[in-house]
Chain A
């Protein structure tokens, strides 16, 4: 039987999109508030938090460090070559240090965690939703937000800044090695280091860590929210995985702009 085609009213579809976005935003805020509320019960869920920290932090550490090493090296190579043309290559330490601490460290590491962990979170919670495990938790009088979302939020808040510290450290070392070894740049590591330390202040480091903290919260909330809203079997779980990555990336970039704007 041929399905009758119904003409789409553009105002209707725009209105529907606005309403569903507003509803999604409201639900995410409600979930965030509820998750924060249940943080008071963190001491009861230490084993769960520890397991999540292990997955998020320790599991991501090698790849985060490797990625950061190459980011630092490329940054040093690109910037150092340009600076060398004007004979200002000694500033390379400050540029790499500030870039890594302020932007590249928090943003790149968070994007990596969003891709690796946020998607896994959405898939795991989504599978639990699809296979009635969330309903089972409710009938066991266990609040799914407390049991699933709260440990993941705390683990992300702890792990992402810690990962950023390691990533920045390794990135800066990578940049320094390239600056010393590359004949075009040829800046001794001690000069690179002194230059960087002069440019960096505790305030800059704290700003970077604050960004990492916010991005960690975004990753956990998006992963859990998308997971809780999963419908429709294996296909739904796959869609949730993609959706969580896309949404996390967008929100991290948006939050990065806002934070940078207000911290400058």
Chain B
């Protein structure tokens, strides 16, 4: 998909200005016909979601010489709901941003369905669609709910306008917000904003959906509602889901498997039941806390 190439060689790639200029010249040389081609390709590619497998090998990332992610190795199966839990500041969200291609690793590789997502050697790097639900929801305040949900569809022109409106309605219905298309995002509560963000992600029919702290700033009842939405999507849609959260009960309730991160490293991976029975002191300290954890023995 040409768009992925264009985005990957953008101003946002980092401080290496020369690389950006070289990339730009490559774009000039090869990219002018891209916009026409990509529209046609996308029309064919806008199919149903199908989960993708993810393999992370030896991923390292440091900021100002301080290692944040240390030799991360992880395998996630297609269609799996996988959570990454751990204390604040351990690099969970940073790991998610690497999978979403918002950060480049210092070393190591990430493979989606066997394709290295950071290689850009002319081979189509991305035959899958991914989307991310951000901690802050990241809705566009200048747009209405419907315009937010339909943004990708309209930008990529994957369907006619009448069909796009139907898709927006369908996706908002999936998250229990049918009929809110005309509302401004500033009129929404925190939980509604999260659900609109999920609907916006679902509009892409993603094969992989990433949630960054989905329950942050939400009350327990709204967190429960959100968990039900994600659970129902898990049943209805065949997509791979990765959740980063320090909300333990939320993660254990939804996940097929859970990874515990501490100090930039993955210290254990297992099913929720296996994690609950773990004898690792750090995991026990995290899981069996007094106020937000689960009760010992349950």
Contact = CB atoms under 8 A, between A and B. Distances in A.
Contacts of B102: 135, 138-139
Nearest to B19: A30
Interface string B2-43: 011011001110010110110010011001100100000000
Given A26-B21, A33-B24, 12 more contacts: A30-B11, A34-B20, A37-B24, A37-B28, A37-B31, A40-B35, A133-B138, A139-B100, A140-B152, A141-B3, A141-B4, A141-B152
Given A27-B17, A29-B21, A40-B35, A139 B130 contact: yes
A226 interface: no
A23 interface: yes
A255 to B, nearest CB: 21
Given A27-B17, A30-B20, A40-B32, A140 B155 contact: yes
A12 to B, nearest CB: 16
B27 A37 contact: yes
A242 B11 CA distance: 22
9 contacts: A34-B24, A132-B134, A133-B140, A135-B100, A140-B200, A141-B155, A142-B152, A143-B10, A147-B155
Interface in B191-224: 200, 204
A168 B151 CA distance: 41
A228 B138 CA distance: 15
Given A26-B21, A30-B21, A139 B156 contact: no
Interface of B: 1, 3-4, 6-7, 10-12, 15, 17-18, 20-21, 24, 27-28, 31-32, 35, 97, 100-102, 130-132, 134-136, 138-140, 151-152, 155-156, 200, 204
Interface in A121-166: 128, 131-136, 138-145, 147
A41 interface: yes
Contacts of A143: 3, 6-7, 10
Nearest to B32: A40
User: Considering residues B4, B97, B155, which has the most beta carbons from chain A within 10 angstroms of its beta carbon?
Assistant: B155
